[in-house]
Structure formats: structure tokens, C-alpha cells
Amino acid sequence: MKESQLSPLLKATNISHSFDYPLFNNINLEIFQKESIAIVGVSGSGKSTLMHILSTLLKPNSGKVFLFGKDIYNQKKDILKIRRESIGIIFQSHYLFKGFSAIENLEVAAMLAKKEIDNSIIESFGIKRVINKKVTSLSGGEQQRVSIARVLMKKPKILFADEPTGNLDRKTANDVMDRVFEYIEQQKAALFLVTHDENLAKRCNRMYKLENLTLKRVY
């Protein structure tokens, strides 16, 4: 096996972080290509904060995060390029560009990541019918699907997702996650998924629980 196949896409070492009180201490995690990792834990346990730390958005109080072998909080010049071109982040709230149509939202994302629009993503997320409408006129679930499609347009190597299917009925949620898991497999990418949904967590290769300041492996 080649070295590149063995090295993790993401490696976090001894991550600790506090706001007014400590959230977690000495968290270690590695994620390899084609892997999906689910993080569960009660509200306020720090799941979103951990995701922000691992996805270039928040420097931890201590510890290191390596993405594609780069120590991201020590190499400022790499961090923007990695964020723009190689990782995708689906937030708990979707942050679509409100004045724009669905297709314009997708085009901006593809352009910033220097990628082409992939029509198969539009088809597979069931958003073709609403593609020219202003995102503010879409239903909550349609907005959520556009926002996931928008992130995948970047062709990220690691996808971070915070409750990506929270607004969707079970069937639509399953369909959307089928597409996401297919994407991970086909693009040899990886998924870091925060969810309260045990059924969804069980579809991932590994599951961790954030509890008592640590990340405990459930399976």
C-alpha cells in the first residue's frame, strides 16, 4: 500500500478547549479516506465547537489539527486555500445567500473552489424543479438540500456536517444521506457528522460520544 493511502486526511492531537468552562481535554482523532465518523452527545456538550476546530474555523486553546498533513493553525497561508478548495462544511443553520437563486448559490460555491457545476448533484438532491427560484422562497427542507448540494459542488475531500438533515422528514433525510455516503465513497472523501439521530449515526463507520470532557468511542 502506498504511503498516501495510509496517511489520514485529518489528524487531531491533544485538542483541548474551554469557553467559560472546559468543553474537552486531550481529544485525539484520525480520519482516513472513505471513512465516516459520527459524533453524538447532549446539547451543549461541544459537538459543534469540536467540528469548528477540526474544520479550520476555530483555533483550539491547545492541540494541533493536521488536514492533508498540514498543521492548519500554524500555517496561515494554507488554511484559506484548504477551506476554500478541499473541505466542505454544512452548518447547523444553512447560510445560503439570501438574495440569490438556488443555482446562483451553487455557482458561487463551485467558482470559489475552482470547480465546475455538477448537474448530477442537482438531479440527485431533487432540487432541479426549484433551481431558478430565490432561496428565500424555498421550503426549509429544500433550502437544506440546496445547502448540502452547494457544499458538494466544491468537491471537498472532507465533509463536515452539523445536523445536516435536521429539517427533513425521515424518507427525504435518508435519501439525502444516501447521496452524501455515495459521494464519500466515489470521491474517496471522508465525513465528520454531528447528529442526534442514532439511526443516522449507525450508518457511519465509527461513532463517538462527547461526554465528560472526552470523546468516547461507542463502536
| Site pattern 190..219 for Mg ion (x: CB under 5 A) | ------------------------------
- Is position 43 an interface residue for ligand ATP (rule: CB under 6 A)? yes
Report the nearest approach of ligand ATP to the CB of residue 158 (Å): 19
- Is position 124 an interface residue for Mg ion (rule: CB under 5 A)? no
Nearest in space to 149 (alpha carbons), one of 188, 175, 170, 169: 175
What the block records as the C-alpha cell of 167 is 429539517
| Site pattern 39..68 for Mg ion (x: CB under 5 A) | ---------x--------------------
- Is position 186 an interface residue for ligand ATP (rule: CB under 6 A)? no
Long-range (24+ apart) CB contacts under 8 A made by 136-143 are 136/98, 138/102, 140/167, 141/167, 141/168, 141/169, 141/172, 142/102, 143/94, 143/96, 143/167
- Mapped onto helix, strand or coil, the DSSP state of residue 136 is helix
- Judged by CB, which is closer to ligand ATP: 48, or 124? 48
**Residue 49 binds which entry of Mg ion, ligand ATP, none, with Cβ cut-offs from 5 to 8 Å by kind?**
ligand ATP
- Judged by CB, which is closer to ligand ATP: 48, or 101? 48
| Under 8 Å between Cβ of 37 and 205 | yes
- Judged by CB, which is closer to ligand ATP: 44, or 99? 44
- From residue 216, give the alpha-carbon distance in Å to each of 162, 168, 200, 211, 212: 19, 28, 18, 7, 9
| Residues near ligand ATP, by CB under 6 A | 19, 23, 41, 43-49, 92
| Residues near Mg ion, by CB under 5 A | 48
